[in-house]
Amino acid sequence: MAPVDETVCHNLDLASRREWLETNGIGGFASSTITGLNTRRYHGLLVAATKPPVGRMVLLSKIEEALVIDGRRVELSCNRYPGVVHPHGYLHLKEFRRDPFPVFVYDAEVFILEKSVFMIHGENSTVVQYELRVPKNVRPTMCALELRPLIAFRDYHSTTHENGALNPLLEIEAGSVKVAPYQGLPPLRLAHTPGDVRGTGDWYRNFEYTIELERGLDYREDLFNPFVLRFDLNHNPRPTVVASVEGRSVESVEVARADEIQRRKKVLTAAPLKDPFVKELVEAADQFVVQRGKGSTVIAGYHWFADWGRDTMITLPGLTLVTGRPEAAKGILLEFATHVDRGMLPNRFPDAGETPEYNTVDATLWYFEAVRALVAYTEDYDFVRTKLYSVLADIIAWHERGTRYGIRVDGDGLLMAGEPGVQLTWMDAKVGDWVVTPRQGKPVEIQALWYNALRVMEDLAHHFGHDSDGSHYKELADRVRNAFSNLFWNESTGCLYDVVNSEVRDGSIRPNQIFTVSLHHKMLSPEKARSVVQAVEQHLLTPYGLRSLAPGDQQYRGRFEGGPFSRDSAYHQGTVWPWLMGPFITAYLEVNGRSAEARKRAEGWLAELRHYLENEGLGQIPEVFDGDAPQRPGGCLAQAWSVAEVLRALVEDVYSTAPAPARARATG
């Protein structure tokens, strides 16, 4: 990935749209723009996961930095206040790169200051290292680095404001300062190399976060500066600060840095191909796989998502199996198996760690596809037999007799789902009591997933010698296939209805139908499958993914922008989703015989996403893009299924001349 040079760094508008992300493997992160100007309430140098992987809190928002050269101050920071940007440190930023951590290179008069930021894996610890470079022909001069930590100590969904409840007292020891501003919150320890510490106790008021303003949310914040750190760079040109909840010392930093570099090299070594695009996606994928208890899970998106059942199961093949991490896949499947309740996987685990929510119909069905992919990659049937099979069988039984929210098998074998006021599919936007895309009845992708799950169970049952169970699953699957095509085929559009509910058939052209062709077990004839792919390509395909609704529909919204109501009402009404490029490419190659010409065309469809990842995305792919050109990014800056599905399709389909293990084709 090429460095970001001065042409971008010195353009505040461009630079403030480029956001870097560091993660710690337990849900915590550090993130900001390349200029250090925080544009989101989620930006911070230490956003700690206090109840891994959730309970995230912005403890250290940022550090104000200045070089003092013979008494002259060179400000390196950048903030937006009402009506003004101050200071203009971005004008000294000559380069940003990921090497492998975020690295910032500042040009200050005749000196070069290089800063790097990384998080220690498995810890709520962020390390900030500086190095002063002095040209050989420059005479000795007094040079110091002054740092002013700005703390927030609040939930990452909120903002903080000046208040009298804050305790300004510090615990200053040799090489560290402990800050504990509020009772009940974890103290923050800032360890540092030798330097002078001076207590301050100042509030910095009215920081403005422009992206939160655009999103119609609280966008102003006050931050507290408890002390100033000053380093004499003439005596120590490489000062270090460690912001940590764990009490990490400076002395252990170099070992931790070397360990993290080695860990990341190991992740890349497991990449299935040496292709640069694949390696960049593998590196991006690593940021989403985190610990939950003794097991593993997936952060659905940074900054604000936790681990969602649906996202986790959809991403499992791309994040873990394609990347050569089958043990992580097993850990994820086991962890979610412990939370199955009444035949349903959790939709999400709330941030505060409360009881999981079970308002989803598709997460549970994606679980079967994840298990199938695991077996296809590893052939570890024994793991599935001993750890998962009984859970899978119980899930099917619950769906047959009925579970929450009207989820049950109908008389024709198809799966019913939904109640008024409840959103159960991945198109789950809700504004107050208004479900934007209710999809109550028989959604098309739910039938595809249900059929796929039954065929997976049929195969597993026969493999384990449970032939009577296998025959039962086969009978159910046959009924689904026989009922599906006639009920869902829309002759007028040459594709599938999106939802069938009694006599009402929703002819909206949406991407959900692509799963009838992309999933391993499929119900459609080759002719109808080809027609579905053609319709999706014609109406929904963009350079960044599939639109969630065809532009010709009267409900189509081409811009994902504005406040919560505006954004939620556009979320699945035309907004482009990069993750859908994965199943679309799989389906396209499926109906076009995986020819060299078809694979070349599919590779071309990924060109814009690759360019975004390598440039504006700084190594990540966002949640969504606008439906209309120019297709601006929106939502989370880094989304797990955007990365996972692009990676999976790239490796299994585009770069493979034969079906990859997890996608060996079957027609049922």
Reported as a single tens digit per residue, the pLDDT across 498-543 is 999 998 999 999 999 999 999 999 999 999 999 999 999 999 999 9
Assign residue 521 a region (left: φ > 0; alpha: ψ between -120 and 50; beta: otherwise).
Answer: beta
* Separation CA 131–CA 124 (nearest Å): 24
The domain locations on the chain are 6-243, 271-663
Assign residue 353 a region (left: φ > 0; alpha: ψ between -120 and 50; beta: otherwise).
Answer: left
| pLDDT > 60? residue 659 | no
* pLDDT at residue number 351: 64
Tokens 């994928």, residue? 285
Tokens 């976060």, residue? 209
Q: Is 0.75 surpassed by the pTM of this model?
A: yes
Reported as a single tens digit per residue, the pLDDT across 395-439 is 999 999 999 999 999 999 999 999 999 999 999 998 888 899 999
Token readout for 649 is 């399709």
* pLDDT at residue number 425: 96
| pLDDT > 90? residue 137 | no
Residue 10 confidence class, pLDDT cut points 50, 70, 90: very high
Q: Do you know the residue count of the chain? A: 668
Percent of the chain with pLDDT over 90: 91
* pLDDT at residue number 350: 67
* pLDDT at residue number 665: 36
Residue 350, φ and ψ in degrees, nearest 5: -60, 155
β-pairing verdict for 499-501 and 504-506? antiparallel
Thinking of the domain 6-243, which architecture would CATH place it in? Distorted Sandwich (2.70)
* pLDDT at residue number 135: 77
Which has the closest alpha carbon to 35: 58, 8, 67? 8
CB-CB contact of 147 with 232 (8 Å)? no
Instruction: Tell me the β-bridge partners of 125.
Output: 244
Query: What number of other Cβ atoms are within 10 A of residue 73's Cβ?
Result: 12
Residue 295 confidence class, pLDDT cut points 50, 70, 90: confident
CB-CB contact of 525 with 177 (8 Å)? no
Reported as a single tens digit per residue, the pLDDT across 19-36 is 999 999 999 999 999 999
Q: Give the rounded distance of the alpha carbon of 107 from its chain centre.
A: 33
Query: What number of other Cβ atoms are within 10 A of residue 172's Cβ?
Result: 13
| pLDDT > 90? residue 668 | no
CB-CB contact of 146 with 65 (8 Å)? yes
* pLDDT at residue number 660: 55
The highest-level CATH class for domain 271-663 is mainly alpha
Token readout for 224 is 């507290």
Q: Give the rounded distance of the alpha carbon of 606 from its chain centre.
A: 19
* Separation CA 6–CA 612 (nearest Å): 19
* Separation CA 290–CA 293 (nearest Å): 10
| pLDDT > 80? residue 307 | yes
* Separation CA 43–CA 61 (nearest Å): 7
| pLDDT > 70? residue 666 | no
Reported as a single tens digit per residue, the pLDDT across 333-372 is 999 999 999 999 999 876 665 688 899 999 999 999 999 9
* pLDDT at residue number 433: 86
* pLDDT at residue number 356: 86
Residue 453 confidence class, pLDDT cut points 50, 70, 90: very high
| pLDDT > 50? residue 662 | no
